[in-house]
Structure 1
Amino acid sequence: MTSNTITPGPMPDLTDYDIICGNLSGGADSRAMQHVLMEAARAAGVADRVWTFHATLGPMEWPAVTVGGRRYASVAELAARQSRESGVPRSRHLERTKMRDDGAGGQEPYDLLTYTALYGRFMRLGTRYCTKGFKEQLEEASHTLEVRRLRPLLGRPVRVLKVLGLRGEESATRARRPAYRSVKSNASRHVDEWLPVKAWTKAQVRELHAEQDYEWHWCYDSEPGAGDWLGSSRCSCSSCFLASRRDSLLGVLRRPRIAEATALVEQVRGDSFRPDISMADLIALSRKPGAPRPGVVIEDEGPDFARMMERLHWALEQEPRRLPELALSAPRRALLPLITP
C-alpha cells in the first residue's frame, strides 16, 4: 500500500500531515520513536502538529510499584511523562481505555482478560483483538474531534500520520512490514503509518537511553531501580501471548494473581493462553529450579484488580462468543529445556 501514501516515496514529509501522532506504550522502543519523531518534526517546523497517544489496558498493564521507599511509574504514567519530556503539551497527549456498558446505563472499563473470557478464545497471530479493539480503534476514535474540526477548514480529508516504535529485529512479521505505508482512507481522513526506528537494533535503543538519560520502565530491569536491562526483554502486557518464554515466566512470577486468573479462564473455556504452552504449565515451570528471579512480586490487591476479578467471574458464567479451537494435534515441546537461567 506504499504507493497510496500522502508523500510519494519511502519516507513521509511531515509537512504533508495535519495530525502527527506518536504512539507511546511506555516502552523503550516507543521512547526512541518519539525522540526521532520530535527531532524530525522540529526540523520540519511542524512540532505543533504532534500528538501522542497511549491505550491503557487496565490491570493487564505493568503497574506502578514502590520499592525501598521509591515509587516506579506504571507504563501509562511513563508514557505521559515521555510525551511531556519530548515537548508535547499535556493537552495533546491522549490516553484512552476501552469501555463497555455496565448494565445500568453507564460505562465501565473493559479489561482485556474479561474480554477474552467473553470471547471464548485467547489471542493468536490471526486474531490479535488486543491490538485491533483495545488500541487501534481507540486511537482512531481519539482523533475524531480534531478531524471534525479540521475537515471543513481544509476542504479535504484530514491527513493523519500514525507513528509507531516497532522494530524489524523483533520478528519476521515486523521485518516485512513497510516502514511507511497507507492504512486507511475515506472521506473524512487519510491515515498513513510510519516506523522511524524500524531498522534500529536493541543496542541502539539502549544507547539512546544512556546518551539522553531517558528513564526506562522498571519491568526491563532485574528489579526496580537496578538499571541493568536484565528483566523483561519487552515492555508489553505483563501477560502477553507473544512474549518470549523467559518474559512469560517473569510475568507469572511478578504478577502471580494475573497468572492465576488467566489459568482460570483456560480451565473454564478450554483454550490455551499460548498455542505451545498453557498458563497452567507456565505457573508450574515458574516453580522449578532455573526459573528467572522476579526481583519484585506485585500483590494486585487494589480496587481495579478487584473489579476486574468480579467482572471476570461474571464473564465466565456467560456463553462464549467463540468456541476454542486448540491445536491439540501439535506436539508440545519438552518443558524442561524451556527455562533459561
Structure 2
Amino acid sequence: MNQQSLFDAPPAGIPDGTVTRALAPNLADYDVISGNLSGGGDSWVMQCLLMDAAREAGVEDRVYTFHATLGPLEWPAVEFGGQHFPSAAELAAQQSAASGVPAERHLERRKLTQDVEPAPYDLLTYIAAYGRFPRLGTRFCTKAHKESIEETAFTPVLNGLKVPLGLARTPTAVKLARPVRRLKVLGLLGEESRDRAARPAYRHVASNGVRHVDEWCPAKEWTKAQVRDFHATSGMPHHWTYDSSPGAGDWGGTSRCSCSLCFLSSKRDLLLGVLRRPRLAALIAHVEHVRGDTFRPDWSMHDLIAWSKRPGAPDPGVVITDETPAFDALEQSVRAALRKPPRKEPDLSRGGRAALPLLRETCTSACS
C-alpha cells in the first residue's frame, strides 16, 4: 500500500478516504475486488477493464463477480426463433466466466425473507407491503435489494480472509489489525445521467472496523457507442432486450438492461416493457389501484398501459407470457401483501388524483 496514511489530507483532486491515494485504484492495495455484473452491456466492458487491470497488478486471484438478481422482475430468458436467449442473471454468469473468473467466485444472490425457511422476497412484494413505489430520493429498491444483499454476500468472503491476512486470530473477530479492503467495481457510464456524470470514478463508500469499501467505475468515460462497438469486436453477445427483437443485433430495443419496468427508465423503454411483459405491467397497475400511489409521480402504470395501445407505440418484437411458477409465486406474494395495511401511507403522488381503476381486462384472476 502507498506510504501515505488514510488519515492524511489527500493531494488536490485525490478522493478522500480511498485506500489508494490516486485518481484511480492500485488493485494490489485491495484484499478483495468485486465486479458488479447486471448482465448489461456496460457490465461486460467494466469486467474486461477490471480483469486487464487485475492481471497487470498480479491480483487476478482476488477478483470476484456479483449479481443481485431481482427474480421475475429482471428481463427473463426467452426462446425465440428456435434459439435460447439468456436472462440477465444467466448473461451475468456468462460474462464472469468469459472474463476468466472461476465459477466458485461468481456470487449470485437474491433478497430472502427472514422466515425459518427463507423464501424469495421480491421487490414488487416489498413495494406492495411498504405502500409506496421507489423515487429518486428514496431508492429503497437499490438499497434493500442490491446493496445490502451484496454486503451480506461478501461477509463470509471477508471473514475468511481475516486469519490468512494476519488481521485477527479467528474469522469471527470484530477487532482487526486493520479492516479487510474491498474494491467494488461498477459499470456506470457518465453519459447515462447527470448524476452519474458528476459521480467520481473512484471514491470511498463505506467503512467500519471490519471492512473498508471503495468504489471504482473504470468505464465512466466510455460512450454507449463505444460499448456497442466493444461488444461487436469482443464477440460477447449483448442482452436480447437491447434489440428490437431477440437476435436482431440492431440495438433497437430498450436502452437499459435493469428491471424490466424501472421507474428510472425512459418513456419508450417503459412502453416496450409494458408491451413485452403485459402480465407484469398489469400486476404493477394492481398495486397502484390498491395502494393509491403511482409507479412514477408523472406517469402511472395505468397511463403507460393505455399509451402502449395507441398508434405509434413501439413494436415489442416479442411478448412474454410470464406463465411460470416463479411469476405465479410473485403474484401470490404481492396479493398477500396487499391484504395487509401498508407500512407507509401512499401520499407521494396521490394528491388530487382520482383513484386508479382496476384493470380487469388485463390483470389475471389472481389480481382480483
**TM-score bracket, shorter-length normalisation:** over 0.9
Match of 1:124 among 127, 135, 142: 135
Q: Is the CA contact (8 Å cut-off) linking 1:26 and 1:78 kept in structure 2?
A: yes
Q: In structure 1, which of residues 251, 256, 266 is the aligned counterpart of residue 278 of structure 2?
A: 256
Does structure 2 retain, via aligned residues, the 8 Å contact 1:3–1:9?
no
User: Identity rate of aligned residues, in percent?
Assistant: 61
Structure 2 distance, partners of 1:24, 1:118, is: 28
RMSD: 1.3
Q: Tell me the residue number matched to 1:337.
A: none
Work out the CA distance in 1 between the residues paired with 2:107 and 2:55: 20
Q: TM-score, normalised by structure 2?
A: 0.88
Q: Is the 8 A contact 2:187 2:217 kept in 1?
A: yes
Aligned to 1:90: 103
Letter in 2 for 1:119: Y
Structure 1 counterpart of 2:81 = 68
1:310 is aligned to 332
- Tell me the CA shift for residue 2 of structure 1: 2.2
1:127 shift after superposition: 1.0
Residue 230 of structure 1 is matched in structure 2 by 252
After superposition, the Cα gap between the structure-2 partners of 1:327 and 1:310, relative to the gap in structure 1 and judged at 3 Å, is closer
Change (3 A) 1:61 1:319: same
**Bigger-Rg structure (1/2):** 2
User: Contact 1:270/1:324 (CA < 8 Å) preserved in 2?
Assistant: yes
Structure 2: unaligned runs, 5 residues or longer? 1-13, 168-177, 354-368
Query: Cα offset for 1:130?
Result: 1.3
- Please give the residue correspondences for 1:242-281 in structure 2 after superposition, counting only pairs within 5 Å: 242-281=264-303
Letter in 2 for 1:110: Y
Q: Distance in 2 between matches of 1:86 and 1:46?
A: 14
Alignment-mate amino acid for residue 281 of structure 1? D
User: Using the alignment, how far apart are the partners of 2:287 and 2:327 within structure 1?
Assistant: 16
Instruction: Confirm whether residue 176 of structure 1 aligns to residue 187 of structure 2.
Output: no
Aligned residue for 2:44, secondary structure, equals helix
Paired residues in the alignment total 329
Deviates more, 1:206-215 or 1:252-261: 206-215
Alignment of 1:111 onto 2:122: yes
Quick check: 1:113–1:312 contact (8 Å CA) kept in 2?
yes
One-letter amino acid matched to 1:146:
V
Q: Secondary structure at the match of 2:163?
A: helix
Greater mean deviation of Cα atoms: 257-266 or 135-144: 135-144
Question: How do residues 162-173 of structure 1 correspond to structure 2 at under 5 angstroms?
Answer: 162-173=184-195
Change (3 A) 1:318 1:330: closer
- The structure that is helix-richer by fraction is 1
Q: Distance in 2 between matches of 1:88 and 1:5?
A: 25
Partner of 1:15: 28
Structure 1 counterpart of 2:147: 136
What CA distance in whole angstroms lies between the structure 1 residues aligned with 2:272 and 2:229?
Answer: 24
Matches of 1:306 and 1:328 in 2, distance apart? 29
